[in-house]
Amino acid sequence: MKLDAVVAGVGMTHFGRYLDTGLKALGGEAVTTALADAGLSQGDIEAAWVGNAAAGVVTGQECIRGEVVLRGIGMGKLPVINVENACASGSTALNQAAAMVTAGLYDIVLALGVEKLYHLDKTKTFGAFSGAVDVESLAEIMAALAKNAEEGGAKEASSGAGTKRSMFMDIYAAGARSHMERYGTTVEQFARVSAKNSVHGSLNPRAQFREVLTPDEVLSSPMIAEPLTRPMCSPIGDGAAAVVLMSERKAKELGIIDPVRVVSSVLRSGWDRGHDEPGAATLCSNEAYDEASVGPEDLDVVECHDASAPAEIFAYEDLGLCARGEGGRLIDEGYTALGGRTPVNTSGGLLRKGHPVGATGLAQIVELTEQLQGRSGERQVDGARVALAHNGGGAIGTDVAALCVTILKK
């Protein structure tokens, strides 16, 4: 939808492993930081949208997740809307919050994403991901993944999905093998995505992993599901990210300096499409470009949903940064690295920044807002004025379950 909401403040935690820190503490830190960034107090917030995907499975907190987190820092009375939409939970929270501001129903609102995925019992975490498909068809999905792996000679990927790792790594691995067969994409190109994002992540003090990796080091790492080695798979993580939005009228009244505007946010679900039919990501991005009056050539910086290294290459093509099948060429040419034509995942992406599912979409907005305001330090993209966030999650049939594309302008 075409939007007109101003980002007044942003905040996020360091993403990582917090076995002894709860949702309330993580969420509270992100909210407090965002309010301070906006120069506002808790009482200025009129409504809140809180994204979380897996607390019910991992921590047992159901039904009132957002209310619990916000009351943990003394925020009550305001309407709280809980948003659960797989890995797109955070971006969906922003989408809905910005829509309400654009509609004139509120002047100042909060969008928060918070997640805890680390647990001593790893089956709880893997169980959360296994619930992001049609569970009535789970047995058939697992059998199809195993058959696909076996036929493709992928020994590691033929077993262990959902018990040794997130089943989504097997879904991405299957997509990667198909892309390689169809377009000639190479495993070395996937490795270069991970290596590039490791360089970006090394410059981000809030990233979960900051070690710089070479492509050879990525390739020599333990195999997870062919052709994906460990650094080609996003890690689980704990963390939170928050964004304070306000109306343009209120931003002028309060004298917000260097405003960043949410000009479009398009949320779609997938559908039963043909094999060669463009999917939800292409549909969302094309609609967002139209609403924002920009094209892929106008993007200065992008945060995309690189839950795996191949997923970033798929995103290049879905977002129109290159033609179908040419994503590998972009990574070879340095097009998406810092200093390239359109840097992608300057934060380190999900691969290095981490992927606390419900917080991921809003963490992308934090990164892009800071980029547009020139606050990103060593990873700053010079002169950035237009930014795009691509965030999706879940899988049904041949497409993503939920996909959101958001465009910001300085």
Bond prior to 227 in cis (omega within 30° of 0) = yes
pLDDT at 134: 92
- Please indicate, yes or no, if residue 82 is contained in any of the structural domains: yes
10 Å CB burial of residue 54 (0-12, 13-18, 19+) is: buried
10 Å CB burial of residue 96 (0-12, 13-18, 19+) is: buried
- Please indicate, yes or no, if residue 200 is contained in any of the structural domains: no
DSSP-derived secondary structure letter, 6? E
62-66: long-range contacts, CB 8 A cutoff, minimum separation 24: 65/23, 65/114, 66/112
In a 13 Å sphere around the CA of 3, the CA atoms on its Cβ side amount to 31
Active site residues: 87, 355
What is d(CA 371, CA 84) in angstroms, rounded to the nearest whole number?
27
Mean pLDDT by 10 residues, the chain (410 residues): 94 97 98 98 98 96 98 98 98 98 98 96 86 91 85 73 81 95 98 98 98 98 96 97 97 92 98 89 98 98 98 98 98 98 98 98 98 98 98 94 98
pLDDT at 21: 97
The three-point CA angle 118-400-155 to 5° equals: 65
pTM over 0.95: yes
CB neighbour list of residue 234: distance below 8 Å, 6 or more residues apart: 306, 307, 308, 349, 350, 351, 354, 355
Q: Helices H, strands E: what count in the chain?
A: 15, 11
pLDDT at 112: 99
- Please indicate, yes or no, if residue 125 is contained in any of the structural domains: no
Domain with 50, as residue range(s), is 2-120+235-409
Residues 11 and 142 in one domain: no
Residues 209 and 110 in one domain: no
pLDDT at 158: 60
What is d(CA 105, CA 363) in angstroms, rounded to the nearest whole number?
25
Q: Which pair of structure tokens corresponds to residue 162?
A: 């959902």
Residues 403 and 268 in one domain: yes
pLDDT at 1: 81
pLDDT at 191: 98
Total number of domains in the chain: 2
Residues 261 and 383 in one domain: yes
- Please indicate, yes or no, if residue 31 is contained in any of the structural domains: yes
Residues 274 and 366 in one domain: yes
CATH number of the domain within which 104 lies: 3.40.47.10
